[in-house]
Amino acid sequence: MTELRALKIYNTLSGKKEEFHPITPGYIGMYVCGPTVYSDVHLGNCRTFCSFDTIYRHLLHSGYKVRYVRNITDVGHLTDEGEDRMAKGAKVAQLEPMEVAQRYTVGFHDMMRIFNTLPPSIEPRATGHILEQIEMVQQILDRGLAYLSNGSVYFDVPKFATENEGVYGSVSGRILEDLYTETRELKSQEEKRHPADFAIWMKARPQDLMIWNSPWSIGFPGWHLECSAMSTKYLGKTFDIHGGGNDLKFPHHENEVAQNHGACGCKPANYWVHTNMLLLNGKKMSKSDGNTISPTELFTGNSEHTSKAYSPMAVRFFMLQAHYRSTLDITDDGLMAAEKGFLKIMETNRILQSLPVDPRDFDGSETDTDRSILALIQDTFAGMDDDFNTAISIACLNELGSYVHKLVNQQLDASQISPWVLERMKTVFSTFIFDIFGLKDESDSVQDSGTIEGLMSLILDIRGQARDQKDWTTSDKIRDTLSAVGITLKDGKDGVSWAKL
RNA sequence: GGUUUCCUGGCCGAGUGGUUAGGCACAGCUCUGCAAAAGCUGCUACAGCGGUUCGAAUCCGUUGGAAACCUCCA
């Protein structure tokens, strides 16, 4: 195993960046709350999962063996009307609940693939773990931290808070006393002893479709329970990292901690990582209030919010330019700038990878330029090691890129960069762009196409002849026409190159 | 109402008690048949007001503005 660098992670529990120490050296268990599959994913969901994908990739690249668990919520999520979301979707579409879940699960996976995220190690479904959840309810009951009320089982928050001082509220910072002031009328309020209590098993009503038998009633598990049960099953009672969007801090994550404590007597995760929201028009993007833009609308340009289409990787790069803990406001200008930045860094990488490396003279001696480059490389890693600061690492790559361009333009003598340093630059560049940031070269499919390569070489040959004869009319016509179909020509010192934008 | 966070140059966005973030845009120059690309240079900011400090955009207080959570949400 490679030597592990020091890694800092911002832990919601402490409100600080902490040095990361896994429970088992070299191994990491990470659980991330996945989507509820009752409609198409929106961009906000994508940002969270792209953020955790980058985190996952960086942990992997740092040499850890990571078990990354991300669930699919396909039951138990209540709407405002107290109706199960799967069942609601089903009634509208005249489909079986599991058919709805299946359809949107497939859609979700497609989108994750488009964003080039790595699949998690395990992707458990809530409906596949009903037994585990019933078992956990029983454990909590056995410890006297839940009570039965009219066939439903409620978690006794005040009792738990009293017996485990400082635990309830450790994620969200919420104080139990504040929860008394809640005035909201809930359907099942009268069944609860305290407003902060929450259902871990719900007795079914006649309209509920997704129901299971249990020792207490025919019903279904509470929403918060699935994550507790599945994280325990696959990662153990206490694991390393628990992640999710920061809108899940309360009540979801707070209650999750309570349930795990209630069932096992210990905390579920050492580090809680929360990603911030994607904003549209300065407001949180949200399905329920309609303030959304779908990934597809973005990719096709078919949206009132954008002036053009943006490729998936341009969007991913846009996200990478901001820190995962900051809100990110999606704007046309921002996307446009990101798109250009993305194309430029990919182009820089292509140039860098094509630079010849002198195979001799790998003696390890350093020039001043070498030292500057090596320091930059170190900063690039340091950025990601400091709470996954993608923005810093990108800035460093851009600075490294400047050396590449100077070299190509012969503003920097090739002898100033030792072969082994150039080799290292190549590795670092592609490692970050492809392996850690999860970007891919979207022009690859075009560049690699033999047909187009052949055509282009013919066209450039003809244009070259025209230029030799100073026939600028023909030369410019070719360039302009190609430009119109999205191919840009560059007349460099060493011949003509082209790129599809 | 309660809890928390944020306010950076034309735009997007990092960051730290004293030193250039980076990208995009813009202007000039170099290169070029002209462009493009690339390089160089310029534009150099930290909401307002107080305080702590030798020194604060960075710490504290306060005013103003925004957001998130408190209810399903990534």
Q: Which range in A195-204, A206-215, A230-239, A475-484 is most confidently predicted, on average pLDDT?
A: A230-239
Asked if the model's pLDDT at residue A175 lies above 60, the reply is: yes
Tell me the pLDDT band of A3, cut-offs 50, 70 and 90: low
Q: Which of residues 157-176 of A touch strand B (CB under 7 A)?
A: 172-175
Q: Residue A69: what pLDDT? A: 98
Listed range (A182-191, A265-274, A308-317) with the worst mean pLDDT: A182-191
pLDDT classification of A501: cutoffs 50, 70, 90: low
Task: Write the pLDDT tens digit of every residue in A251-288.
Answer: 999 999 999 999 999 999 999 999 999 999 889 988 77
**A67-81, A136-150, A369-383, A439-453: segment of lowest average pLDDT:** A439-453
SS3 state at A271 = strand
Q: What would the mean pLDDT of A3-13 be, rounded to a whole number?
A: 88
Q: Residue A31: helix, strand or coil by DSSP?
A: strand
Residue at A424: amino acid letter:
R
Q: Which of residues 442-481 of A touch strand B (CB under 7 A)?
A: 467, 472, 475-476, 479
Q: Does residue A395 reach within 7 angstroms of strand B, measured from its CB?
A: yes
A288 CB-to-strand B distance under 7 Å: yes
| d(CA A117, C1' B44) / Å | 38
Query: Which residue's CA is nearest to the C1' of nucleotide B21?
Result: A395
When pLDDT is averaged across residues A34-42 and rounded to a whole number, the result is 91
Read off φ and ψ for residue A326, nearest 5 degrees: -100, 150
Strand B closer than 7 A to residue A33 Cβ: yes
How high is the pLDDT of residue A407?
Answer: 87
pLDDT of amino acid A245: 95
For range A422-436, the mean pLDDT: 94
Question: Taking residues A478-486, what's their average pLDDT?
Answer: 83
Tell me which amino acid residue A417 is: I
In this model, does residue A188 exceed pLDDT 70? no
Residue A266: Cβ-neighbour burial (10 angstroms; 0-12, 13-18, 19+): exposed
Rounded mean pLDDT of chain A?
Answer: 88
The complex's ipTM works out to: 0.94
Mean pLDDT along residues A372-391: 94
Of all residues in chain A, the percent with pLDDT exceeding 70 is 90
Whether the pLDDT of residue A161 is over 50: the answer is yes
A55 touches strand B (CB under 7 A): no
CB contact at 8 A, A299 and A33? no
Judge whether residue A23 has pLDDT over 50.
Answer: yes
Whether residue A407 contacts residue A414, with contact meaning beta carbons closer than 8 Å, is answered with yes
Query: What pTM, to 2 d.p., does this model score?
Result: 0.91
Specify the long-range contacts of residues A356-364, CB closer than 8 Å, at least 24 apart. A357/A419, A357/A422, A357/A423, A357/A426, A358/A419, A359/A419, A360/A419, A361/A418, A361/A419, A362/A418, A362/A419, A362/A420, A364/A418, A364/A420
Q: Which of residues 203-242 of A touch strand B (CB under 7 A)?
A: 223
Residue A158 confidence (pLDDT): 92
> Residue A180 has what pLDDT?
56
pLDDT at A494: 65
Distance A286 CA to B7 C1' (A): 23
* pLDDT at A153 > cutoff 70: yes
Measured CA to C1', the nucleotide nearest A43 is: B74
Q: Which of residues 306-325 of A touch strand B (CB under 7 A)?
A: 318, 321-323
Q: What percent of chain A has pLDDT over 90?
A: 61
Is the pLDDT at A448 greater than 60? The verdict is no
Give A5 or A395, the one with higher predicted confidence: A395
Mean pLDDT calculated for residue range A388-397: 95
Would you say residue A182 has pLDDT above 50? no
Q: pLDDT tens for residues A58-112? A: 999 999 999 999 999 998 654 445 556 776 676 665 678 888 899 999 999 999 9
Q: What is the reported pLDDT for A186?
A: 47
CA A85 – C1' B32 distance (Å)?
63
pLDDT at A336: 92
Would you say residue A185 has pLDDT above 50?
A: no
CA distance A75 to A211: 9
The two tokens of residue A13 are 């529990």
Strand B nucleotides with an atom less than 7 Å from a protein beta carbon: 1-5, 11-15, 21-25, 31-40, 66-74
